[in-house]
Structure 1
């Protein structure tokens, strides 16, 4: 970044800091406003004190509910809200989105950054799955709203067929409405620093939503949202970077030979995502045939069917899942053996489709048939093709960002993420170095643009990094959200 651009970033960062000081000077008046709004607005959602499968009352505060984001088509987004275990009155408020598009945020809550997980570690033998407290939860340091978005994901639904049709742009607009309505009904969190977070496909949504909130605030929409930044894990950003980073990643991991890599470089000229000639296409085919049985979500884990490792076969996997679901209530021995990460997803599906679980969560009857962890059949149009400029604009406006990569993910590899960050041409503040958790190297990090952008790798993690390295990712997030260096 040139001197003029760097100065602009510094001025806007200073302006944002001034705005924050102004905000807190109005704290007494704002508190009076909060009290007035609280007395005039009915609280949304239902407090959930216990859950089927959990022994005793929940050791954390959980609320679930719906927010209608389109009255004409009856689009209602389902959410899970967990208060911070530290100090919910002042701790940041994080809106968390899962990827897909079409993946339920319940997956993020139970498998990534939320406060409970399934007790089964070796095998599941039928009946209602047991859940236990997850100590490496990001709710240790923040309030989190897990939202089933877009419509069609998880328990979110539309009353009309037209409402079921959505896109990146519509999803972002609906999420802005969601936040304003939710905060109207939860005014005690209006002054908490607001962050937007998510992973995978949500890499398209998170920065787009953050910028939309900024523009909405500038337009004078009420209530003003106290946006401070965003966090994105292994985020999809732009196809040429995300896909283009895969070939260097496969080579660096020793999964393709030097000869295959050099031939691909020569014939494709760095444009691996869009082969422009027959020799490049042939090179890509050879590499695909060589790596097609590698688990791209974590290249060291087995690419397998639910119960046992083996050659991956979608049809066989689907048949096994159906068989397990049909027999789940029969209390048979070793219905699901945990030899594959996918097994825990099947257990989640069994739990989420249990009648008593749905009743406890307050799911509207007759709205969603079978709960699916990732509903890839949502009627969805991807109309945001790149968020590179969104990131740059947010940096210039002084917002904070944490971008992290599980370094064994080939779905959205760190090589592609680092490439688009380099493309931003931001000034480096703290160059490449290891960061530590429990005295061990947990990854590597670099900070940019007055520390507004922190990039970190998570050593040994896959596509959804907190799922693989929960302790390290909590440490990373806790330091960043508090303003400390990694």
Structure 2
């Protein structure tokens, strides 16, 4: 009997070490108690739990017992899930006011996806947000390593939150997570098939402006730029002729194509690529280097004394750094002491291997497994143009069951959509950019309709 008790005690202690969550009722910057239920904590994954992934969990404000449960994975890779929670689809957002040295102000949003779903916002991989690793080796990550660790995180988290095991489960994300989310879905599905417990009630996934395949994503920037009037007819025709519509894999000896691409770069270099209609203000991160060695965004030189004006869309990115690095905020969120400076996107400091060249095979496999999916695109994003997303969806070769049509909000066109026989819905967000925060109200309506199985 004593031996059995000692064994049970070991299991309990091990469990506490692996999953630690705390309720948060107040946050610095927000006036009054939080009008929703928030839990934060760490879950250990990887060898000997050497990777500690930080999460924010917000219960659905409608009916958490029955509403869907979703995990949200911000792109980057290595951008904090605060991007999703406080910019795109969470119940709080930064007030657009000039920074005065105090904790930035948070206000309640009207568009939160947590009105109809419970969401786990996860800092993944280690080194993003408040997540960390205990060893140098554990700090190393990759696309496929993330997939395995996120699956492990979910099963441990659900073991600690058994009341959500039966809820319909979805995986969501945007931008670079387009390389990871479809693989996470496949990883969960295969784990379920092997009987790994707890079984996850996986129903589908959704992605916004997802990086998917370099040959699709980069090659469609040029026709998109032409369609938007950013390059001339003559340059576009020259690029088509000299590069053969394969601009990404341009051969270095092709001088005409190379010169055309330089002319293209000159035309768009001062465009804000995430939403081409907005001013080109400073950003606080650097996109991953492409295989051809070219970076996608200029490295920011901004600091506290050289912030962009508050009118810039990116201003709240800097507010988030002031907020997330405030000691009172960290204490309120129960962040482990000793974690270094929080960065919105820690892209350049994490040893990361980009080992998924294309996530199209994952999409194809997930479609064959019968999972439903929503793929949406802001139609003014030059970084991952909607044309690129349309192209790889067509390449899946599933029949169209609901042809191209506008989708409406209050008798106004909010975008366009079509549905395929593999339960995949593609939707554009009119006037949208690279992430949902450029049109949060429209994205909130879109999400509610789709997650509730309504006609978009």
Q: Quick check: TM above 0.5?
A: yes
1:448 is aligned to 2:423: no
User: What's the secondary structure of 1:434's corresponding residue?
Assistant: strand
Cα drift, residue 182 of structure 1: 0.2
1:75 is aligned to 2:51: yes
1:291 is aligned to 2:262: no
Partner of 1:131: 106
How many Å separate the matches in 2 of 1:196 and 1:394? 12
Is this contact kept in 2: 1:44–1:182, CA < 8 A? no
1:462 is aligned to 2:433: yes
Q: Which has the higher contact order (CA 8 A, sep 6+)?
A: 1
Partner of 2:305: 323
Is this contact kept in 1: 2:73–2:124, CA < 8 A? yes
- TM-score normalised by the chain length of structure 1: 0.85
Q: What are the superposed Cα offsets for residues 189-209 of structure 1, whole Å, 9 maximum, x if unpaired?
A: 000000000000000100000
Cα drift, residue 81 of structure 1: 0.2
Partner of 1:379: 351
**Equivalent runs, 1:199-214 vs 2, <5 Å:** 199-214=174-189
Is this contact kept in 2: 1:45–1:65, CA < 8 A? yes
Is this contact kept in 2: 1:44–1:186, CA < 8 A? no
Picking from 136, 148, 152, the partner of 2:127 is: 152
How many Å separate the matches in 1 of 2:210 and 2:340? 30
How many Å separate the matches in 2 of 1:321 and 1:167? 29
Is this contact kept in 2: 1:300–1:408, CA < 8 A? yes
User: What's the secondary structure of 2:111's corresponding residue?
Assistant: coil
1:485 is aligned to 2:455: yes
1:162 is aligned to 2:133: no
Q: What are the superposed Cα offsets for residues 109-150 of structure 1, whole Å, 9 maximum, x if unpaired?
A: 00001110112x242322111111112100011000000001
Is this contact kept in 1: 2:282–2:308, CA < 8 A? no
Cα drift, residue 446 of structure 1: 0.5
Gaps of 5+ in 1: 1-37, 308-312, 325-334
Cα drift, residue 336 of structure 1: 6.4
User: What's the secondary structure of 2:42's corresponding residue?
Assistant: strand
1:186 is aligned to 2:161: yes
How many Å separate the matches in 1 of 2:66 and 2:431? 33
Partner of 1:231: 206
Picking from 316, 330, 353, the partner of 1:358 is: 330
Picking from 64, 77, 82, the partner of 1:88 is: 64
Cα drift, residue 283 of structure 1: 1.0
Q: What are the superposed Cα offsets for residues 347-378 of structure 1, whole Å, 9 maximum, x if unpaired?
A: 11000000000000000001x21100000121
Picking from 291, 297, 303, the partner of 2:280 is: 303
Cα drift, residue 468 of structure 1: 1.0
**Aligned Cα root-mean-square deviation (Å):** 1.9
Partner of 1:23: none
How many Å separate the matches in 2 of 1:403 and 1:176? 21
Is this contact kept in 2: 1:123–1:336, CA < 8 A? no
User: What's the secondary structure of 1:72's corresponding residue?
Assistant: helix
